Structure formats: C-alpha cells, structure tokens
Amino acid sequence: MVRRPRSRGSPTSNKYPFVEDTLGKKLAAGTGLSVYCLTCRRTALLDVAELVKRLGPDHSCMHWGLIKEIYCHDAEPPAGRTGTSSSLITL
C-alpha cells in the first residue's frame, strides 16, 4: 500500500506552520480580531488595517501584546485611566 504524503499548511498558503503572531501577518492573511469587555459585556470587531497603521506591522497581535493598547470606552474606568482593559478573543 502506497500512502500519499499529507499536505501541510493552510489551503491559501504553503507555509507550515501557519502563524499569525503579528498584526502585519494577520492583515496579510485577511483574518480579524474581536474584543470582548468583561465589565460591560460588549463585543466589537477591530480594524486590523487601522491597528497596523497605529501600532506597526511588527506589533504582537496576541492578548498580552494588545491588552495595554485596547480598552473599553463604555465600561467604568479605573482611577487614572480613561477606559478599562478588555479581554481579547481572536476570530
């Protein structure tokens, strides 16, 4: 019995493993980010292209890389800040 080797990577790319750890890679892959506020329980989709303009393509798109940059305007802010941190969920 002859087995074919499995193809690796995503259907749109031959790179394996498929990694989206920066905003530039997320933008190139065409995937998005959403944010969920634990305080007011709102969800919002983020504009990845705008984040790349603001933070740069090499900025991390992981939770700990963005949690310092993104906050909810509707939630009650902690002392000394104009918003509160949100919990990030990637799409």
Domain that holds residue 79: 23-90
Residue 34 lies in a domain: yes
Bridge partners of 68? none
**Please, which residues bridge with residue 72 across strands?**
84
Tell me the per-residue pLDDT of 74-90, one tens digit each, with 9 for 90 and over: 766 655 666 555 555 44
Domain assignment present for residue 64? The answer is yes
CB 71 within 8 A of CB 81: yes
Task: Tell me the per-residue pLDDT of 6-40, one tens digit each, with 9 for 90 and over.
Answer: 555 445 555 677 788 999 999 999 998 988 888 77
Query: Looking at the domain assignment, is residue 47 inside a domain?
Result: yes
Number of domains in the chain: 1
Q: Is residue 37 part of a domain?
A: yes
End-to-end CA distance of the chain: 40
